[in-house]
């Protein structure tokens, strides 16, 4: 038995890396739907369909015991549907990130950054309000340029710092003390964001999701298999894969293996 992780493409490797480091004996299979990336500018119905197809591939191929949705756009729209449809535990990234943000925020002013789909869904806002037992203020901001910057490997460049300031200054001025990275690409920029805004509690779902996984009733002592699947070749994928997880076996599959399910 094993655990499956899927994302629209590259960003979910931050989750893969975190899970692999925390559970060295767990068999982990990752699917990056690089042929159809990004999900963040797709419609709700399309994101749900893609999420079902990715999930079914991992279940049918590897009989996974649990599924992690390492994509904020998919977590925003598909997590409840997948929980109802599948007979295994399903963990999205939004609930763990929201819960942790409420735990660390002192003034109740929380910023959320992500793709247009994640921000427009208000999934973080709804979850934060639902989980909070006190009055909070939530400030959201889409940051569409972060993904291409990361995929170009421009992590610590002056251009990147300028873009971070351009996007975040508006919500920083609202005196937020906590920032949720609402896209699994964004943890790659976490250290740079902290350099610019050292007062911020930066919430990285790839880290806080670990506690939810520990609570799963699955076998964590397996063979330590690590296998990554992609639906299209991408130089940016391999570049970030090498940075985050190193020499993990990667295999391209045909998109028809997902779409015909």
The set of catalytic residues is 71, 183
Calpha distance 68→18 (Å, rounded): 12
Say if CB 129 and CB 140 are below 8 A apart.
no
Return the structure tokens found at 111: 């910023």
Residue 29 backbone dihedrals phi, psi, to 5 degrees: -120, 125
Return the structure tokens found at 215: 């609570």
* Number of alpha helices (DSSP H) and beta strands (DSSP E) in the chain: 12, 10
Calpha distance 44→81 (Å, rounded): 12
Max distance between CA atoms of the chain, in angstroms, equals: 49
Say if CB 134 and CB 108 are below 8 A apart.
yes
Calpha distance 182→144 (Å, rounded): 12
Calpha distance 112→179 (Å, rounded): 6
Q: Which of 182, 185, 154, 143 is nearest to 9 (CA)?
A: 185
Calpha distance 33→44 (Å, rounded): 16
Residue 12 backbone dihedrals phi, psi, to 5 degrees: -65, -10
Cβ neighbours around 210 below 10 Å, total: 16
């Amino acid at each position: 038995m094993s655990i499956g992780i899927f994302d629209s493409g590259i960003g979910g490797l931050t989750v893969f890396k975190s899970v692999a480091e925390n559970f060295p004996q767990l068999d982990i299979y990752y699917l990056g739907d690089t042929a159809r990336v990004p999900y963040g500018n797709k419609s709700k119905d399309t994101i749900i369909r893609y999420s079902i197809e990715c999930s079914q591939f991992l279940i049918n191929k590897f009989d996974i015991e649990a599924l992690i949705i390492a994509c904020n756009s998919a977590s925003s729209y598909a997590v409840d549907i997948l929980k109802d449809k599948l007979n295994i535990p399903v963990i999205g990234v939004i609930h763990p990130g929201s819960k942790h943000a409420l735990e660390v925020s002192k003034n109740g002013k929380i910023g959320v950054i992500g793709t247009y789909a994640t921000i427009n869904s208000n999934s973080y806002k709804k979850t934060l309000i639902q989980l909070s037992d006190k009055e909070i203020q939530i400030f959201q901001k889409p940051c569409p340029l972060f993904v291409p910057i990361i995929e170009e490997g421009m992590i610590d460049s002056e251009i990147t710092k300028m873009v971070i300031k351009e996007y975040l200054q508006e919500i920083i001025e609202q005196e937020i003390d906590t920032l949720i990275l609402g896209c699994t690409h964004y943890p790659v920029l976490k250290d740079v964001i902290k350099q610019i805004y050292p007062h911020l509690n930066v919430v990285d779902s790839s880290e806080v999701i670990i506690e939810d996984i520990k609570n799963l009733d699955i076998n964590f002592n397996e063979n330590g298999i690590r296998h990554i699947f992609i639906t299209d070749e991408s130089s940016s994928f391999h570049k970030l894969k090498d940075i985050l997880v190193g020499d993990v076996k990667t295999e391209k599959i045909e998109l028809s293996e997902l779409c015909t399910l």
